[in-house]
């Protein structure tokens, strides 16, 4: 179990650990898919160099039962690998693969955290499950025969602000 600590309190002169605001339970793959274009010829285009990756990330959360503190948070990651054929920098990039994963976690929100619910579920929860989702995505691409480049952590705060601005 991982958790986000909400702080410590001093009670009677002794430090007391506060209840975690968010506790993660099970984590699991909801779905995973990989499409490789134009096999086996596509591997000659890649030639041992990691493709450029376009990554699209989305997060959703749903309450599992009314009046319960349990939620399912789903992190969707779509990666498209592209290469530029030959040495012509002006050539259009060619798509070599598309990988889609949907990775979820079960979370319990501590009592009294309702005012922080949106940020807990759409920022803190995906931060907790992102490393496993990224590992799954990179493993899927590597097992398909492509060299992988590291995917940097996602700024879930910026993603949350972007979503709020569009709404």
Q: Where are the domains of the chain?
A: 19-166
Number of CB atoms found within 10 A of residue 129's CB: 21
Arithmetic mean of pLDDT, 63-86: 90
d(CA 64, CA 77): 22
Facing residues of 60 across strands?
74
Find out whether 64 and 90 touch, Cβ atoms under 8 Å.
no
How far apart are alpha carbons 32 and 3 in whole angstroms? Answer: 26
DSSP SS3 for 67: coil
| Residue 93 confidence (pLDDT) | 87
* 19-166 is classed CATH 3.10.420.10: yes
Mean pLDDT in the chain?
85
Q: What is the pTM of this model?
A: 0.81
């Amino acid at each position: 179990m991982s958790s986000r600590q909400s702080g410590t309190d001093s009670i009677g002169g002794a430090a007391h650990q506060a209840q975690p605001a968010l506790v993660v339970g099970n984590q699991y793959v909801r779905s995973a898919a990989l499409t490789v274009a134009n096999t086996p010829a596509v591997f000659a285009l890649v030639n041992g160099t990691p493709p450029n990756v376009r990554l699209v990330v989305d997060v959703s959360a749903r309450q599992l039962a009314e009046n319960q503190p349990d939620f399912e948070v789903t992190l969707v990651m779509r990666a498209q690998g592209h290469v530029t054929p030959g040495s012509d920098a002006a050539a259009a990039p060619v798509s070599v693969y598309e990988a889609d994963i949907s990775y979820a976690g079960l979370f319990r929100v501590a009592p009294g955290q309702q005012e922080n619910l949106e940020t807990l579920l759409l920022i803190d929860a995906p931060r907790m499950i992102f490393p496993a989702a990224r590992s799954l995505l990179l493993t899927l691409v590597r097992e398909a025969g492509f060299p992988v480049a590291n995917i940097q952590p996602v700024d879930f705060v910026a993603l949350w602000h972007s979503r709020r601005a569009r709404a």
